[in-house]
Structure 1
Amino acid sequence: MFAKAEWHRVMPRLIDDRIITKADLGGVEDFCLARGLVREIDAIMRNADGAIDLKLVRAQDKSMQTARQLAAEYGLSPTSRTRVGGRDDDDDDTNPLDIR
C-alpha cells in the first residue's frame, strides 16, 4: 500500500524529467519498496501503545538508508537532483518507458 503510493508519487516526475529508462525500473521499484517499508513500520509502531520494538527500529533504519541511497541514484533528493540530469534526447514525444 505505501510502496504503491510512493511509486505513483515519484514516477511521473522521473518520466517527465527523462531520468529513467526501462532498465532502471527495478531500482525505482526497490526505492518504493524501501520507502513503503519505512512507512509500514512507522504505522505498526504507532499502533504498539508506546512499546518500542528494537527489531522494527533496526529494520526501519536499514530501509531508510536503502531508500536514501536509491533516491540519490535517481535524483529524488535535493542534493542529488543537482547532479542527476535528464536525458539528452531531442524527440520530446518519445516516452523513455515505451515498451512497444
Structure 2
Amino acid sequence: MAEIDDQRLHEIEARMHRDDPRFAHALGAGKPCRPSEYRHTRAWLLLAVALVVLGTGTALAHGLLIAAGLVLAGVAGELFDPERAVRRHRNRPPRS
C-alpha cells in the first residue's frame, strides 16, 4: 500500500477510536459489538416507562402524571438521536 493510503487508514482508525472507543476496541479484539448509533437500550426502557406513566395518568385523570409521561417521552425521543453527542459538544459556554 502507498504511504498516503496508510496515513488515511490511520486517520480513519483514530477517528473511529475517538468517536466510539468501545466499538473500536471490540473490533480490534475480533469480537465486534454494535456501534453507539445502534445502542438504544436506555432509550427504549425510558420510552416504556414514559408510556406506562402516561397511560396511568390518563386512566386516573391526573394531570401531573400525564405531564410527567409527556416529558419522559420527549427525553426518550432525544436519546434516539444519533447526533446528540455532536450537538452537545458543539456550543459549550466558556468556563469561568
User: How high is the TM-score relative to the length of structure 2?
Assistant: 0.39
Structure with the bigger percentage of helix: 2
Structure ID, larger Rg: 2
